[in-house]
Amino acid sequence: MNLGMEGIPYNWHEQIINLLAERIVVVDRDGIILYINEAYCEFLGTTVEEAINRPVQEVIENTRMHIIAKTGQKELAAVHPINGSEMVANRFPLVVDGEIVGALGTVMFRNPEEWRMYKTKIQNLAEELNYYKTKVEKDLKSKYHFNGLIGNSPTFLATKKLAERISANNSSVLLIGESGTGKELFAHAIHNNSMRSSLPFVTINCASIPEHLLESELFGYEDGAFTGAKKGGKKGQFQIANNGTIFLDEIGDMPLAMQSKLLRVLQEKEIQRIGGQKSIAVDVRIIAATHRDLEKMVEEGKFRQDLYYRLNVIKIEIPPLRKRKEDIPLISLGLLKKLEGKFYRKGIELSSDVIKRLMEHTWPGNIRELENVLERAINVLDGKIIDLAHLPLYLRDLGLENTRVKETNTENKPSTMPPSLTVQPLKETLAIVEKDAILQALDITNGNKQEAAKLLEIGKTSFYEKCKLYGIN
């Protein structure tokens, strides 16, 4: 049985044709119009009744339909001059039982503007697709190399050398260090120096993802696995990182329930999506990092011992900034170069007093804190030299504190002079300090209260209230 158009009701045909092509014409072997739809007639300024059974040349200006019906040669995306403009048309010969019986013509675009609009739309979609494709590829690439890890202190060089030595193999790495020491930079560099460098590098911050979402983020889910699940399911980060490296930052914050599931992945080298029945093989290198004491957490039952041993194949401890203070000038220079690009500035330098003050600080926030200090300084900088006045108040006051400590240490003998100073109430002392800080901020910003409020990191309303309280105009 030949299944064709017979199964479609005849009164459907017109609508089907109009949906397939907005403007369409059919001619016989002699170029007589057998069919033309209303959309085409409106474009031509005629009616279906007037056009049917007439030679196509009399109805359509500069037509070639009668020629196609003779030659049997199709013409695709042909430019057709008509009505003082140009449309883009397709023309096809109609062949039945090996014989040309007529021709079919469709109008793709009625004028160049319509074509340009379509082209622009497609081009925009292509550019958008390319942008997101590039972004995804960029996001899955590691950004830092070992030559970008700055420092010449013996402790840092030893750490860097160890990381370089172990980067070529596939063993799990555990990076230990305080917040802001550069654990993620080390992870990037290890991946970039490995045989997996051209393959995905995926970063997961275990502390920033809610516990109920962590499993689906790591392992993915199947279509319909839960209410609100994305149609078609979703790949997990382990699947995305297949054959590459996955960096599990803040691994110490991973819930115990997820720790056991992660352990299974490391042991079996396979994952199972939420709602899925089959296992999916994955080959990833694990680099984990934490600022927590995992050994203590194991003793307290907060971290699985078997997972700790799986991750702790190679442990690299990254020294805090206070233990490599000789690197501060070099690191500061590197950070300034980075920030110059962000602020479109060039030639920014640190005064000798600032370098000395930076060397005196203990840096509890490590390199991240140092970068924030330098960024703040550039925000309030008019020239090219960062001086003490551009530093945050707590660093400016550091010099006074150090002076007081030295004076206390050198004054061992009890004073024979009667005390000449009186102790003020704490509330009054704090008010004096607060007023001085506001005046100093206003001095730096040349009286700009909004900028001064930003420097002091307080709200604009609060700043104005304090100015009123202390009689500062």
pLDDT tens for 131-159 read: 555 555 555 566 789 998 999 999 999 99
Q: How confident is the model at residue 418 (pLDDT cuts 50, 70, 90)?
A: very low
pLDDT at 1: 43
Which pLDDT belongs to residue 77?
A: 83
In DSSP terms, which residues pair with 458 in a beta bridge? Answer: none
Which residue did the predictor score with more confidence, 320 or 464? 320
User: Of the candidates 194, 195, 200, which has an alpha carbon nearest to the alpha carbon of residue 137?
Assistant: 200
CA-CA distance, 18 to 34, in Å (whole number)? 16
Predicted local distance difference test score (pLDDT) of residue 248: 95
* Six token digits for residue 54: 């007439």
Given this model, what pLDDT does residue 417 score? 44
- State what percent of residues in the chain have pLDDT above 70: 85
User: Mean pLDDT of all residues in the chain?
Assistant: 84
Query: What is the tens place of the pLDDT at every residue in 14-53?
Result: 777 766 667 899 999 999 999 998 888 888 889 999 999 9
Confidence (pLDDT) at 299: 94
Q: Give me the percent of the chain exceeding a pLDDT of 90.
A: 51
Which pLDDT belongs to residue 250?
93
Mean pLDDT for 309-334 is 94
- CA 191 – CA 168 distance, rounded (Å): 9
Residue 420 has pLDDT above 70, yes or no: no
Question: pLDDT class for 253, splitting at 50, 70, 90?
Answer: very high
**What are the strands, taking DSSP E only, across 297-446?**
314-317, 349-350, 385-386
Conformational region of residue 166, where left means phi above 0, alpha means psi within -120 to 50, and beta covers everything else: alpha
**CA 318/CA 291 separation, integer angstroms:** 10
Neighbours of 410 (CB within 10 A): 7
Q: Residues 217-239: what's their mean pLDDT? A: 85
Which residues, 6+ apart, have CB-to-CB distance to 262 below 8 Å?
218, 248, 254, 307
Least confident of 24-33, 68-77, 271-280, 405-414: 405-414
Per residue in 430-465, pLDDT tens?
Answer: 777 788 788 878 877 778 888 888 888 888 878 887
> What is the model's pTM?
0.58
**What's the mean pLDDT in 201-213?**
88
Give residue 166's pLDDT.
Answer: 95
Would you place residue 421 in the very low, low, confident or very high pLDDT band (cuts 50, 70, 90)?
very low
Whose CA is closest to 199, among 159, 140, 258, 249? 140
Sequential DSSP letters for 394-434: HHHHHHHHHHHHHHHHH--SPPSSPP---PPPHHHHHHHHH
Q: Which residues pair with 161 in a beta bridge?
A: none
